[in-house]
Chains A and B, each alone.
Chain A
Amino acid sequence: MNKETFLSNLEIQLQEKLTDPNEIQDILNDYAMMIDEAIENGEDESDFIASLGSPQAMVDAIMEETDESKTHVTHKLVAISPFIALIGFFASGFIFDAWHPGWVWFLFIPMSGIVFSGPQSLEKLVGLSVFLVLIGFFLGSFWLGTYDPLWALFLIIPGLGFFLRAHPIYKVAGIYTLSAVVIYIAYGLIMDPAHYYGLLLFFPVVLFGLMSGVITMNIDGLSRGEKHIKIFGTILSAFLIINYVLIGYQYALWHPTWLIFLLIPISIMLYAQIAFKESIEFVAYTPFIALTIFFLWGHFANAYSYSWLIFLIIPISGILFEKGDA
């Protein structure tokens, strides 16, 4: 591999992980200088480049050190996030009687984990967008009194994922997806409550996802057990999505029926543990159980002010069922 090809490959890997173009350029310049210096010292260009290892391993090593450098400060910020969330939740409940959707304060905990931990990367923006969309969806639907067409907000996540990729075709696909979300929601809210034909706007997004390989069902290189799990997960996901949309449109039950999607991670975890003959860890399931009870109890008994207590089963079960290190 020559210097130009190596730097080009390195640039692609860096763009996947870093947001700052100056930082990317700085690292590329540093590696260019190192290669020049090696040549100046009589080393063979391709041999020296081969000795550097793969660009992906280099970027991983850089990100690991960046992460380590920020760990001390960020751990403190992440550690206090549950207390900030709790104060926000109680303030919303006691002052404004907004226990629902005041519980969205708890999303601050995973969000702070994403923002303050780990290296600054583009993947973080996509990860963060999941929670921002959830907040937008619940706050918007609370104030507007409808979950449809606001569910389309969730398509911001793949839209952003497309847009943040380097290739221009993905940028176009990202802009199209984000525009389709805005048009679909605006049209559904303002112009036509029966806007089902607006779903056609998303057809090109799915088509692009399939054609570009973003939506894929590649099971090559997986073990037999992993293949079964992937096929099972895909079939279950498709089944639940179709049923969710059908039930949502037929009975306007967008919330809390979305909880059925928790069956995907739960079933896959169970399937994998049974297939690989692993012991079933109850603690791993408690976040899903707590979330389901919290919403069902809060929604049907209008009891969000105390249904949050169910989340205490997570640390309690953690303590009770904790395995020793020995």
Chain B
Amino acid sequence: MNKQFKKGVLDLVLLHLIHESPATAYELLKKLETTLGVTQNTIYPLLRRLENDGFLTHERSASQVGAPKKLFKLTANGLEHYRMLCNDWMAFNTKIEEILGGQCHE
């Protein structure tokens, strides 16, 4: 997938997945590396930024090996930001669909 497409929507995708269920960076990577072809070098910095911006927080959960896991969760601001991004995306997607008419020219 085009890199610029991905860069624009990864915030939304991560917030969406975390909204569905709190997740670790590793779990998010596993969900996205096959579908979107992203690497941990993309996901981890985004998670840090979203946490620094106050959209995510984390809690610790026990691990069988080594240190406890870090589970990312949405904050109230994060939920609001997610809803805004999601609405923007839906509106944008609808308009693009209207233009493309559901198909790409050969």
Check if A34 sits within 8 Å of B52, measured CB to CB.
Answer: no
Q: Is the CB of A33 within 8 A of B53?
A: no
Main secondary structure of the interface of A (DSSP, over half): helix
> A35-66 interface mask toward B, CB cutoff 8 Å, 1 = contact, 0 = none?
11111110000000001110001100110111
- Closest chain B CB from A83 CB (angstroms): 29
Are B69 and A64 in contact, with the CB atoms below 8 A?
Answer: no
Interface of chain B residues 59 through 81 with chain A (CB within 8 A): 63-70
- Taking CB as reference atom, which chain A residue is nearest B39? A53
Q: Write the nearest CB–CB distance from B45 to chain A, whole angstroms.
A: 4
Task: Return the CB mask of A116-134 against B: 1 if under 8 Å, else 0.
Answer: 0000000000000000000
Are A32 and B45 in contact (CB-based, < 8 A)? no
How many Å lie between the Cα of A52 and that of B42 in the bound state? Answer: 10
A30 interfacial by beta-carbon distance below 8 Å: yes
Across-interface contacts of A61 in B (CB, < 8 A): 41-42, 44-45
A33 touches B70 (CB 8 A): yes
In this complex, what residue of A is CB-closest to B42? A61
> For the complex, is B13 an interface residue (Cβ under 8 Å from A)?
no
A226 on the B face (CB < 8 A)? no
A37 in contact with B41 given A65-B48, A68-B49 (CB within 8 Å)? no
The reply on A243 being an interface residue by CB < 8 A is no
Q: Is the CB of A40 within 8 A of B64?
A: yes
Q: With an 8 A cutoff between CB atoms, is A267 at the interface?
A: no
Chain A positions 1 through 41: 1 when the CB is less than 8 Å from some CB of chain B, otherwise 0? 00000000000000000000000000101111111111111
A62 contacts B65, C-beta separation under 8 Å? no
Q: Are A38 and B26 in contact (CB under 8 A)?
A: yes
CA distance A26 to B69 in the complex (A): 13
Q: How far is the CA of A57 from the CA of B41 in the complex (A)?
A: 8
B48 touches A29 (CB 8 A): no
Contact residues in A for B49 (Cβ distance below 8 Å)? 65-66, 68-69
Alpha-carbon distance A62/B52, docked complex (angstroms): 12
In the complex, the answer to whether B25 meets A69 with C-beta atoms within 8 Å is no
If A33-B67, A36-B63, A61-B45 touch, does A69 touch B52 (CB 8 Å cutoff)?
yes
Is B18's CB within 8 Å of the partner chain A?
A: no
- The contact sample of 12 A-B pairs, CB cut-off 8 A, is A34-B25, A34-B26, A34-B29, A37-B26, A40-B64, A52-B39, A61-B42, A64-B45, A65-B45, A65-B48, A66-B45, A66-B48
User: Residues of A with Cβ closer than 8 Å to B?
Assistant: 27, 29-41, 51-53, 57-58, 61-62, 64-66, 68-69
Beyond contacts A33-B68, A52-B41: 15 other A-B pairs, Cβ-Cβ < 8 A, are A27-B48, A29-B67, A36-B66, A37-B27, A37-B63, A37-B65, A40-B65, A53-B39, A61-B44, A61-B45, A62-B45, A65-B46, A65-B48, A65-B49, A66-B48
